[in-house]
Structure 1
Amino acid sequence: MKQVKNIGIAAMALFLAGCDDIKFNGAMNVLEQITFSQSQGKTVTVAPGQFDAKVTFSGNNSKKKIKFEIKNADPATEVKLEFDKNITIGETFNITAAQLKQNFDLAGTLATKVERSPEYTGYESCSYQYPQTVCRGASTKSADEAVAAKVSEFAAASAVETPEASQPEMVEDSRNHPYPGSYNVPHQPVCHTVWVTRPGQRYVRYYVETTDRDLDAGFVQNGKTLGSFKGHSRQNETVYTYQSDCR
């Protein structure tokens, strides 16, 4: 069990250095009025009471953030805390007032449990790229113009006396052709390859990894608890052990 818990703590620390969010649903119990310092010199005050609340942990390359959504009003009151990215939230933690830039410490515990399902198999939908050759006539316009020119020449020749031909059958064949001379016009297609997305299926093997986290955090000022938050988070992740090609 200890090994599983350590895996969860490592995952939490990794998350706070990454881009994903971890969301807790729970309750906020405010024993004494708490004043939160916010950006741009603003403050948010929460009066004593018990309220439904949500807490979201997030992080980037420079800071870690905790956002509280306290349902003591409509809309809910939002409070944001920030601290250095190198501060780790583990099985037990204590983020000082100086680190938070607040007038209280944030101290508590984070219990993490990771479970893995049996391996499942089956088929799932997917999509893949398929090469397709597309062709179009390269000389369509010039061919039409050439045909029109030949027709005009034929009409002009018909209006004047036709000289005696050394091969009259050739002249006759040319005049009886619906588009005289069109058989001499080049008409070569231009082809290229395009990639088309097609639906398909693939065979997969996978298991589902479920991570449960229980957070118990207190707002502590000079050894006195001003309030606390208790919440639970569950995340499911599908981990593939095999994926066939999409067909």
Structure 2
Amino acid sequence: MKKLFVLANLLLLTACDPFEGNLSVKYAFLVKGKANAVVAAGDHSAKLDFDGKKKITINLKQNGKKQKIELNLNNKLNLPNNGSFELTAADLGGQDFSSRGTVQTQTRDSELRREYESCSYQRREHVCYPTKNGVVCRDEYRTVYGRRPVEFIDRTTYQQLAVNFIHANGALLADFNGDKQSTERLYRYQGHCF
């Protein structure tokens, strides 16, 4: 129950982009699913993604071929921003292995910046058109392009993920170490478009 409470309080930062890194496989292991997949021993360049909170996708290259492995979760999952997590074999849809990992997150905010940026708005105009029966007038909305003053910071988020895949007998099957970085613009002020 404690594990579910911790998982329920996790943040969404990890749901967008995959972690890119290395999957180091000590012992080949089977991932059960729609199409069973064997992960071969060795080091593999890999991307690990938490899709929609109910699935973990691992994209890797084995023997020169791309392979997509999906682990369906029994419960929704969001990774913590900072801290550890654990998924049992049952959580992983009845696999023969469990996983334990940690996430470390660092954020950095830029200095406050003031700039002008492009913008647009809709303006209602009364327009008249000549016709063979005279003139027809009506209101139309036109897009007006302009500039507006803004104040913002750019927030860069860097995350590191380390995950161990552990066989039911306690043996370490594989470990994944990866990271990802994203930047978002946070507006403090947006003036009128002119």
Q: How does the TM-score come out when normalised to structure 1?
A: 0.68
Q: What's the counterpart of residue 12 of structure 2?
A: 14
2:96 aligned counterpart, secondary structure: coil
1:77 aligns with 2:24: no
Structure 2 CA distance, aligned partners of 1:205 and 1:44?
50
Q: Give structure 1 regions of 4+ aligned residues with deviation exceeding 4 angstroms.
A: 9-12
1:225 to 2:172 alignment:
yes
- The letter for the 2-side match of 1:231 is G
SS of match in other structure, 2:45: strand
8 Å CA contact 2:25, 2:175 repeated in 1: yes
What corresponds to 1:32 in structure 2? 27
Unaligned runs of 5+ in 2: 1-6
Distance in 2 between residues matched to 1:206 and 1:11, nearest whole Å: 29
SS in 2 for 1:13: coil
Choose from 95, 107, 113 the match for 1:120.
Answer: 113
Write the letter of the residue equivalent to 2:152: Y
User: Which residue of 2 is the match for residue 99 of structure 1?
Assistant: 91
Alpha carbons 1:22, 1:58 under 8 Å: kept: no
Map 1:49-60 onto structure 2 (within 5 A).
49-59=42-52
Distance, in Å, in 1 between the alignment partners of 2:122 and 2:185 is: 24
**Aligned ranges for residues 52-201 of structure 1 at < 5 Å?**
52-59=45-52, 63-90=53-80, 91-101=83-93, 102-137=95-130, 140=132, 187=134, 189-201=135-147
Q: Is the radius of gyration larger for structure 1 or structure 2?
A: 1
Please give the per-residue CA displacement for 1:138-161, whole angstroms capped at 9, x wherever unaligned: 6x35xxxxxxxxxxxxxxxxxxxx
Shift of 1:137: 4.6
Residue of structure 2 in register with 1:151 after alignment: none
For residue 18 of structure 2, what is the aligned residue in structure 1?
A: 23
Percent identity among equivalent residues?
Answer: 31
Cα displacement (A) at 1:79: 0.8
Deviation at 1:235, TM superposition (A): 1.0
Whether the 8 Å CA contact 2:74–2:90 is kept in 1: the answer is no
Q: Quick one: structure 1 residues 12 and 118, their matched pair in 2 at CA, closer, same or farther if it must change by over 3 Å?
A: farther
Shift in Å, 1:192:
1.4
The residue type paired with residue 185 of structure 2 is: T
User: Which deviates the most, 213-222 or 191-200?
Assistant: 191-200
Deviates more, 1:70-79 or 1:106-115: 70-79
The Cα offsets for residues 93-135 of structure 1, whole Å up to 9 and x where unpaired, read as: 1111111112111211111112211101111111221222232
SS at match of 2:79: coil
